Amino acid sequence: MARPVLRTELCDRLGIEYPIILAGMGPVAGVGAPVATADLAAAVSNAGGLGVLGGVAYSPDALRAEIQKVRSLTDKPFGVDLLLSPNFLVPRGKSSGKGTRAPRPAQKLPEEHLRAVRKIADDLGIPWKEAPREMESTAAGSWIPEGQSYAGAQMEVVIEQEVPVFASGLGSPEPFAKVLKAHGVPIISLVGTVRAAKQVAAGGADFVVAQGTEAGGHTGRIGTLALLPQVMDAVAPVPTIAAGGIASGRALAGAIAMGAVGGWVGSAFLVSEEANQPDLQKQRILDAEAEDTVVTRLYSGKTMRNISNPLIEAWESSGLHALPMGLQGALIRDLQYSIAEAGRNELLMNAAGQTAGMLKTLRPAKEIMADMVGEAAEILGRDLAARVTASV
Ligand SMILES: Cc1cc2nc3c(=O)[nH]c(=O)nc-3n(C[C@H](O)[C@H](O)[C@H](O)COP(=O)(O)O)c2cc1C
């Protein structure tokens, strides 16, 4: 059977067959490596989309190895996603000679928060255990070379490895735009507000991803249907890609009909065979209804959509304000470690979007791609003409 045709400007600019990009999803708790590793990224690229590695938690050496692994699995274009939060751009601490080591974050954490987190663990019957020192988040800066910043050290690898596409999930690409453009690397920047959209477009983004609140992981407050046209108007002629709630050809077709050049898709690929997350977390997504996700600052300090669980409920009812990104992760590090040690994996982070309610089968990424492309091509190529009468 002939392959369906579904092309937009995005395909021409990135050298891909279909306007679908795998969201560069980072790690969920309990797994060191990201959800979007080389296996998933390569599977999406091989199926005609753009696979994007979730690069945020990799050290430069690990990132280099994972990029090389993608190349061993596909000869198609792919991307790397990093977070360019200002927290990650500032060089940290003084060099010890071997590299920069941030102070143990627990030293800076408010007593009230530490006590509250211990109480939540007690209330949930979780024996308290301190996480080993070597498990400190990479965000604490343990591997940052002298004179470097967190994202800067990763970016050197992106350039050195001639990664075909760069994506930033947070922050403006401005500090790196010049060097990326000099190397001919297109920049994709994710935003959840019109203000951020204007910032990243001014900062050098070649494509802006308008991510609505439906999305899994870090997310904003505006729905995709409301955000997409506002971002398009704010950044034109820079093209906009839609994200948040795109887990079907129907949603992709809708976004393209609205003027998006493609879809940036996360949750739908969380239930792919290649997604790197524990079976329990995949199963909880497969079992979920659309109402089963909540937005919480528990895990990172920033608003993040997750499948709800009693730990999130306890945090939300504690009345505590979350700490800033970086510190909040440090605050709950021992708690998450204790949960994992106690085998209470149902309490671990399980980021997923509102489309969880329609994700009912675990499949290879290739099938997810084929269904999405087939359905969108059918709608845009045939159904619309049969269902809609319109003229101007
Ligand atoms: C488990 C998970 C991890 C994520 N990690 C990242 C990340 O590291 N960087 C990033 O840019 N976006 C990340 N996101 C957000 C996605 O990039 C994307 O915007 C979102 O999944 C799109 O909405 P959808 O889930 O409805 O498809 C993550 C999302 C999930 C579900």
C-alpha 23: how far from chain center: 5
pLDDT of 89? 53
pLDDT of 211? 98
3-class secondary structure, 121: helix
- Tokens coding 198: 């204007």
pLDDT of 102? 42
Q: Which of 20, 21, 22, 25 to mutate to test the pocket of ligand 1 (most atoms within 8 A of CB)?
A: 25
pLDDT of 108? 78
Atom of ligand 1 nearest to the CA of 354: 26
pLDDT of 145? 52
Instruction: Tell me the one-letter amino acid at 85.
Output: S
* Separation between Cα atoms, residue 390 and residue 121, nearest integer Å: 59
CB-CB neighbours of 366 under 10 Å: 17
Q: What residue owns the CA closest to ligand 1's atom 27?
A: 266
Q: Which of 82, 218, 281 to mutate to test the pocket of ligand 1 (most atoms within 8 A of CB)?
A: 218
Query: Hey, where are the domains in the chain?
Result: 9-90+149-277+360-385
Q: 228 alpha carbon to ligand 1 midpoint, in Å?
A: 17
DSSP 139-202: GG-TTBPTT--HHHHHHHHHHHTT-SEEEEEES-SHHHHHHHHHTT--EEEEESSHHHHHHHHH
Atom of ligand 1 nearest to the CA of 168: 11
Atom of ligand 1 nearest to the CA of 277: 1
Q: What residue owns the CA closest to ligand 1's atom 15?
A: 217
Q: What residue owns the CA closest to ligand 1's atom 11?
A: 169
Residue list, ligand 1 pocket, CB within 6 Å? 23-26, 28, 35, 54, 56, 81, 83, 169, 190, 211, 214-217, 243-246, 264-267, 270, 351-353, 355
Q: 128 alpha carbon to ligand 1 midpoint, in Å?
A: 30
Q: 170 alpha carbon to ligand 1 midpoint, in Å?
A: 11
Q: Which residues lie across from 208 on neighbouring strands?
A: 189, 240
pLDDT of 132? 82
Burial level of 201, CB count in 10 A (0-12/13-18/19+)?
Answer: buried
Q: 72 alpha carbon to ligand 1 midpoint, in Å?
A: 25
Atom of ligand 1 nearest to the CA of 209: 19
Rounded (to 5) percent helix, strand, coil in the chain:
45, 15, 40
- Tokens coding 66: 């994972």
pLDDT of 134? 61
Q: 81 alpha carbon to ligand 1 midpoint, in Å?
A: 10
pTM of the complete model? 0.93
Superfamily of domain 9-90+149-277+360-385: Aldolase class I (3.20.20.70)
Q: What residue owns the CA closest to ligand 1's atom 17?
A: 23
Q: What residue owns the CA closest to ligand 1's atom 29?
A: 217
Q: What is the mean pLDDT of each run of 10 residues along the chain (392 residues)?
A: 93 98 87 89 98 93 96 98 72 37 57 95 96 57 54 92 96 94 97 98 98 97 98 98 98 98 98 95 96 96 96 95 89 92 92 98 98 97 89 90
Q: 84 alpha carbon to ligand 1 midpoint, in Å?
A: 15
Q: 338 alpha carbon to ligand 1 midpoint, in Å?
A: 25
pLDDT of 166? 98
* Separation between Cα atoms, residue 92 and residue 313, nearest integer Å: 34
